[in-house]
Amino acid sequence: MSTFQAPKGTYDLIPPNSATYLAVREAISVPLRNSGYGYIETPGFENVELFARGVGESTDIVTKEMYAFETKGGDKLALRPEGTASVLRAALEANLHKGGNLPVKLWYSGSYYRYERPQKGRYRHFSQVGAEAIGAEDPALDAELIILAHQAYRSLGLRDFRILLNSLGDKECRPVYRAALQDFLRGLQLDEDTRRRIEINPLRVLDDKREAVQEQLIGAPMLRDYLCEACKTYHEQVRELLTAAGVAFEDDPKLVRGLDYYTRTTFEFVHDGLGSQSAVGGGGRYDGLSEMIGGPVLPSVGWALGVDRTVLALEAEGITLDIPAATAVYAVPLGEEARRVLFGKVTELRRAGVATDFAYGGKGLKNAMKSANRSGARLALVAGERDLAEGVVQLKDLASGEQTPIALDAVVDEVRRALG
């Protein structure tokens, strides 16, 4: 193993591509910030118990994929595999739910860790931008979140994604369904692991990707036939609100999701250009999670969009984001005196808000101009002894090659004018 190799299942974000990641995070957060969501940041690790109780003891995420460890002080911690449990824990700890202003709407952006088998679109370290609306049961809130994610993807120019929608019922109707499903599943030819799953988490069996399993699932009882009146009405309202907003979705009665906390509304954004790791985002309502982690009743809903997969989706659709060059002006000094004077001008330009860079390291003119072109700058400022003696620097348009002398004491104004 080389010392210079990132750990398996991880990769670095490096310029220029890293700019796309920043732009994606920005694009996803804009609609949230515009809709009353406040920014929250929680630690990269939590007590392992939080995820065991929140995400679910029987989920793959907790049993197989969690980076859990014991500290020297004996604390049992885990790198966060997802954001929802942490955000709810933080909201409860800060008593945000007691401010008399429900729902508490929060958004976040950060790194998450799952010990998964790495493949394209599936990493051990990945990033999500997420949103949680805590403490309100209102179909309009579920609809709002789906509409905002849709808006975010659209603002990036994505078109080939679909929204899958389902309801998982609530604590009244789901247990009845669960029992009916278990009865059905116990009669099938399934391997040991899957049989065990029937007893712990039968709904996940529906999600099994293997054909031999899927074939046997034909005729399985469907949750939608077991939904209670309250859940049916709630779901119908979410669907109507989405339709009224012009957001197309597909009903997917088999959509289960990999986390245990969901109730009622669940959804996934899938992109058709991504192969097997097609879920670019997902979420749903989690009315029981607060109680599962020891809090009060706080019906809530949220989602998280995967930044890595969203970038892959952009690539799949051939979309290049319009990211302005990081540098607008590149300064090239010729000689010691010019270096001192031009560096001063660079500082002035930066203080005036003009993105400026400088040819460091005493490069010759040819190399310095190469760097100027590579930087993406529109303008170069070039100065040698003779220019300084005349009180000017040369302002060069890097696209046209046109060069004009400008007064040293008017550099900021002249550059601004030239940039338009």
* Interaction site with ligand HAM (CB under 6 A): 82-84, 114, 116, 122-123, 126, 128, 130, 132, 258-259, 279-284, 286, 302-304, 306, 308-309
Choice between 128 and 356, CB closer to ligand HAM: 128
Q: Do 297 and 290 contact (CB within 8 A), yes or no?
A: yes
Choice between 286 and 330, CB closer to ligand HAM: 286
The pairing of strands 279-285 and 300-306 is antiparallel
3-state helix, strand, coil in the chain (%, to 5): 40, 20, 40
Choice between 130 and 135, CB closer to ligand HAM: 130
CB 90 to ligand HAM: min, Å: 14
Q: Do 375 and 381 contact (CB within 8 A), yes or no?
A: no
- Name the closest residue to ligand HAM (Cβ): 306
CB 303 to ligand HAM: min, Å: 5
Choice between 59 and 151, CB closer to ligand HAM: 59
* Residue in 329, 295, 226, 379 with CA at minimum distance from that of residue 54: 295
Query: How far lies 256's CA from each of 169, 212, 262, 283, in Å?
Result: 11, 19, 9, 11
Choice between 82 and 357, CB closer to ligand HAM: 82
CB 310 to ligand HAM: min, Å: 7
Choice between 106 and 388, CB closer to ligand HAM: 106
Q: Do 167 and 234 contact (CB within 8 A), yes or no?
A: yes
Task: Quote the longest CA-to-CA distance of the chain.
Answer: 93
C-alpha torsion sign, points 59, 65, 66, 72: positive
Choice between 285 and 339, CB closer to ligand HAM: 285
Choice between 207 and 337, CB closer to ligand HAM: 207
CB 30 to ligand HAM: min, Å: 18
Q: What gap in Å lies between CA 136 and CA 314, rounded to an integer?
A: 34
φ, ψ at 294 (rounded to 5°): 95, 15
Helix, coil or strand: residue 387 = helix
Query: How far lies 216's CA from each of 133, 190, 207, 220, in Å?
Result: 38, 9, 12, 8
CB 120 to ligand HAM: min, Å: 10
Cβ-Cβ contacts under 8 Å for 188 (sequence gap 6 or more)? 216
φ, ψ at 329 (rounded to 5°): -130, 140
Q: Do 262 and 285 contact (CB within 8 A), yes or no?
A: yes
CB 295 to ligand HAM: min, Å: 16
CB 106 to ligand HAM: min, Å: 10
CB 279 to ligand HAM: min, Å: 4
Choice between 242 and 415, CB closer to ligand HAM: 242
CB 247 to ligand HAM: min, Å: 18
